[in-house]
Amino acid sequence: MQVLVHLIEKYGKNIWKPLEKYKFYTKYISKIQKKRTILFFFPLISESFLIFYVIFFKLKISALPIFLFISIFYMIIISFFSKFAPLIHDLCQKFIYIVAFPSLVFLTKTNSMQIYKQNFIISISTYILVFLHSNFSGLFFSFDIIYYIFSILPSDLYFLALLHFSILSLMNNIAFPSLNREEISLVSHALTGLLRNFIYFQTNLPCELFLILAFFGPIVAIWPAIPFLKEYVRITRISCYRRTRTMETKRIRYAIFSYFSIGISIFTMLQFGVKSYLTEHKNLIFWFINYVMHEKGSEIRQKILLWWMNCLIFTMLFIKIFLYAQKSKRQINNENERISSSKLNKRRKLFHGLVIIMFLPTLYLDPLFSNISFSITFALFCICEVIRILALPPYGIFLHSFLSQFTDERDNKGNIIVSYLYLLIGCACPLWLDFIGITLDEQNQYQLKLKAISGILCLGFGDSAASIIGKKFGRLHWPNSKKTVEGTFAFVLAVFFGGALVKYMCWVNDVIIQLS
């Protein structure tokens, strides 16, 4: 007990020193008096959670139930004050995305208490940082604040916390405001776990190597091309009427240099960065080609690829014939035309239907190949998004005009069109998570489970039904939400129907839904 009191006295004083340095009490006193009196003490409460957490783990007692109980009790206290009602939703959202979901995922996927301990501490430290940014944004990037928050961590976790904060800052600069703070912290947590496994355990599993390359590969590949991209953007911003022929030549030249630099970076990364991790010491691309063309089960993989390509070709032809043909009849030349909500919703749900047709009949044939294909596709999507944002020739303008036909208000928050990225991640994430922690032999004998395709069921069946039924027949709205009760029931029924269909067609190998 004396040790606990000493820790609280020591670190409790340190955490508030930088706040005094920035004249916290004089600058924010009005805000605190009005509506944030209780929330003001939350960083101190979170710090106490960290101290209790370390002590409980030394006693081999799980800190997650204790943290859940204290947090729920804390929210109940706040709920007695009606003026804090808008803040409760924000607090619960941050808690679910930043603390509860990552901790429960790692608690489910690992038997190692050390790994769970590290990820739980990352969640808590991120929760503190996001809370400080939301309420006292002027202090978020203060080195003193970050130092004192991380100083209460055990020494063996200090590097991991700093690594996570570096990734969090990088993602914040890249993705905000296209992604909100909670989504950025969730993605950063996942990336930290991937990079940690790559550094400490040096995995040689192809699916994990492709997954790491899917998220970090585009960043590493584009990094050397930034000087060329900056010059390209600088010239592109000049009006075409003021742009000379020499400037246009330089602009094309910088675009070519950018492509060349990205290609060299990808080749170097695959040849020297990842090659040694494979058992055959092959280039990852050559390994994948051999895996598709020559290894056992290659005929099935080739048929899966052929099916996916046919689905994409027919979808593009459908869009070309119906979507653009209707535009030509109306003689609409303005790219920024306003599309009605119902038509936009139908266009977007076309890709949700494509997800069902492409993946449900094929994933069970070779789940490992599907896992790797999802990773490669995500990396290509990220590079295409960079090309679209910068309008790099020859496909940048085409990608922008094509994808703009399917954007909603969420895609217009920032520069990134997140809809198709989220659609792919939503379909692939359950399968990615289900492959974590299993050996290569287990991966080769892996049997697809219903939980591994839950993302496809929710996005393909559930989200489409909820959107269509909710917009057309929805009358009852949930409190403080645009979502309707009718849409929610449609989501549940559609997902259950999708699960029953998958089980009836024998597209999975586990028994979750019993059909009579």
pTM as predicted: 0.79
Domain final residue, candidates 197, 213, 244: 197
C-alpha dihedral (463, 468, 473, 474), degrees to nearest 10: 40
Task: Provide the token pair at 112.
Answer: 């190692």
Return the bridge partners of 477, or none.
484
Range of the domain at 259: 202-279
> How far apart are alpha carbons 303 and 293 in whole angstroms?
11
Is 512 inside a domain boundary?
Answer: no
Let me know how long the chain is. Answer: 516
Is residue 381, in this structure, part of any structural domain at all? yes
Whether 288 maps to a domain, the answer reads no
Are 17 and 107 in a shared domain?
yes
Which among 180, 178, 187, 124 is positioned nearest to 429, based on CA atoms? 187
What pLDDT score was predicted for residue 31? Answer: 44
**Domain tally, the chain:** 3
Name the stretches of the chain with pLDDT < 50: 1-41, 43-44, 47, 51, 54-55, 58-63, 138-141, 143, 328-338, 511-516
144 vs 132: CA distance, rounded Å: 13
Q: Is the domain of 268 the same as that of 411? A: no
CA distance 327 to 315: 17
Sequence-separated (6 or more) residues with CB below 8 Å from residue 504: 515
Residue 242 near residue 205, CB atoms below 8 Å: no
The verdict on residue 420 lying in a domain is yes
Task: For residue 82, tell me if it sits in a domain.
Answer: yes
In a domain, 509, yes or no: no
Peptide bond into 394 cis (omega under 30): yes
Residue where one domain finishes, among candidates 279, 306, 333: 279
| 18, 139: one domain | yes
Q: Does residue 513 fall inside a structural domain?
A: no
Domain assignment present for residue 516? The answer is no
- Are both 16 and 153 inside the same structural domain? yes
Supply the pLDDT for residue 14: 43
Residue 347 has a pLDDT of 79
Domain stops at, among 279, 310, 337: 279
Same domain, 84 and 188: yes
